[in-house]
Amino acid sequence: MRSPVRIHAVACLRYETCMDEDPKPADGDDARPSGISRRTLLTTGAASAIVGAGIGVGGALMWPHPRGVTVWPRPDRSGVSPVAGLHLQFGKNAATEVVVSWHTTEAVGNPRVMLGTPASGFGRTAHAETRTYRDAKSGTEVRVNHARLDNLSPDTDYVYAAVHDGASPELGTVRTAPAGRSPLRFTSFGDQSTPNLNRLAGAAFASDNIRSPAAADTTTAIERIGPLFNLVNGDLCYANLAHDRIRTWSDWFENNTRSARYRPWMPAAGNHENELGNGPIGYTAYQTYFALPDAGSDEQFRGLWYAFTAGSVRVITLNNDDVCFQDGGNFYVHGYSGGAQKRWLEAELADARRDPGIDWVVVCMHQTAISTTDRTNGADLGIRQDWLPLFDRYHVDLVVCGHEHHYERAHPVRGTLDTETRTPIPVATRTDVIDSTKGTVHVVIGGGGTSAPSNALFFPQPRCRVLTGVGGFDAAIGHKAPIYVTEDAPWSAFRDRDNPYGFAVFDVDPGRAGGNTSLKATHYAVNGPFGALTVVDQFTLTKPRGG
């Protein structure tokens, strides 16, 4: 799905020399006392049509200032790839660093981003770095442009335009995170897929990436909520199942650019980002499309694990295929980092807990340590063995994940039973207000939009199938055969049987010095084609405020 309106013109942007310089840019007509100049009309009309659908504060502030964004039309130059899949990422410090990204399958000239504020217009140009990969299945080369914007001001709205020579600029806005303890809102879901029918099978359109119309409804709903950022808990578009991987990635970005160009969608790589032939561990497509915060890892692991800070929240994102036993991707990569990810995680957790400005440590990952559905992926012992002791030691507050296509959450857990499944131990059973100093709350939010929801597959009483290992390759399933052990699940706190699709909203209240801070969670079901929402579950984590 495309952005609401595109400017069907080549545009020149104030303070920038146009590619085809016109001798009469007419700098003075903004000041006419009456009437609507061609340029004013095009400036506000085009920009409002684009921006108005997606933002709150940033868009609203654009219009009163007469010397803001300036665009005027030229005929399209034929043959130039458009700016496609425009999306944002935060840098390590979300208060000051943003990356603007878009992609083409053709070489383009001078990719760049014009940046400004709603009040002052564009005043700065950031040139983009182009990263490429060639999809092993199709042979198609994808070129992704990443423009880094740094030294931004915290808690500030920016406007930007992404463009390359000969293309129409695509506009977006972004709000930087607050610095220090301030209220903020973020959202989270996984397992989205695409809303597109992307394969012609005989005379009929079909899909081979478990697509669903709900994948569009979720995006509409996220944009209605308007968070500072959205955590994507892995299995983005299921390109590794698709006949045409490139088309599937493109469909995902086209569906989500109507939100991801206004607020960063910060992803975790899931098992369906693992694509046979695309790099030694299969994540080259994912690693090329996204420019994620630098974790100091080797180049081959770039973007697979990372952390960023927004206000008093440190988000730590992991790639669980490294530790999971399940064979869930195009090929088996268990243990691929040789412990590098785990060493980084421990150092990052220790750093977060030393930082006096951090109250909340939130882990975003794909596969889960908890699940109470039958005949699905289940929980993975590898996560319980490798991650949970670190989550305990450093008092991780919240874990969001996906992989299972439903919503459920656990009581706060700390420690595990000495059993073959390492059952997490619940430390409290109150479900509305939770002291997060006592344990870590895990939340499965995997109802992002696929055609294979699992909300109807819950065990009648809470039980958990734990994948404890794999056998030999099973041709019937195309993977190594999983070995399951089923346990009681005393940690289970809430399960949504009724709704296949939804996402969670998290609101940080920093509280006052000497008092408590809180993180309120609301899980919404997405009930309709226009992002209609129903509250399904709410809980509040609370703890003494640090600093």
| Site residues, Fe ion (CB under 5 A) | 235, 270-271, 403
* Min CB(313)–Fe ion separation in Å: 25
Residue among 271 and 518 whose Cβ is closer to Fe ion:
271
Give the 3-state secondary structure of residue 504: strand
Q: Is the distance from CB of 522 to CB of 538 less than 8 angstroms?
A: yes
Write the CB contacts of 54 (distance below 8 Å, at least 6 apart in sequence): 4, 173, 223, 258, 259, 261, 262
Residue among 166 and 270 whose Cβ is closer to Fe ion:
270
Residue among 62 and 268 whose Cβ is closer to Fe ion:
268
Token pair 């654009």 is found at 62
Gap between the Cα atoms of 172 and 257, Å rounded: 9
What are the tokens at 246?
């490139």
Helix extents (H) in 156-262: 214-225, 245-260
Residue among 271 and 309 whose Cβ is closer to Fe ion:
271
Quote the Cα angle for 211-383-280, to 5°. 65
Gap between the Cα atoms of 225 and 313, Å rounded: 19
Token pair 């609101």 is found at 507
* Min CB(249)–Fe ion separation in Å: 17
Q: Is the distance from CB of 536 to CB of 523 less than 8 angstroms?
A: yes
* Min CB(405)–Fe ion separation in Å: 9
Q: How far apart are the first and last CA of the chain?
A: 44
Gap between the Cα atoms of 517 and 525, Å rounded: 27
CA 240, chain centre distance (Å): 18
Distances 401 to 220, 335, 375, 444, 540 between C-alpha atoms, Å: 21, 20, 18, 5, 18
Residue among 272 and 302 whose Cβ is closer to Fe ion:
272
* Min CB(283)–Fe ion separation in Å: 14
Gap between the Cα atoms of 198 and 250, Å rounded: 10
* Min CB(375)–Fe ion separation in Å: 15
The residue at minimum Cβ distance from Fe ion is 403
Gap between the Cα atoms of 517 and 495, Å rounded: 26
* Min CB(462)–Fe ion separation in Å: 21
Residue among 241 and 390 whose Cβ is closer to Fe ion:
241
Residue among 380 and 397 whose Cβ is closer to Fe ion:
380
CA 339, chain centre distance (Å): 25
* Min CB(213)–Fe ion separation in Å: 20
What are the tokens at 514?
């000497």
Residue 210 bridge partners (DSSP): none
What are phi and psi for residue 14, nearest 5 degrees? -50, 140
Residue among 403 and 409 whose Cβ is closer to Fe ion:
403
Residue among 87 and 403 whose Cβ is closer to Fe ion:
403
* Min CB(377)–Fe ion separation in Å: 7
Residue among 230 and 271 whose Cβ is closer to Fe ion:
271
Gap between the Cα atoms of 365 and 379, Å rounded: 13
Token pair 């931004």 is found at 152
* Min CB(160)–Fe ion separation in Å: 33
Residue among 227 and 378 whose Cβ is closer to Fe ion:
378
Residue among 101 and 209 whose Cβ is closer to Fe ion:
209
* Min CB(234)–Fe ion separation in Å: 6
Looking at residue 250, the DSSP 8-state letter turns out to be: H
* Min CB(267)–Fe ion separation in Å: 13
* Min CB(328)–Fe ion separation in Å: 6
State how beta strands 433-435 and 398-401 pair: unpaired
DSSP states along 50-70: HHTTT-SHHHHTTSS-TTS--
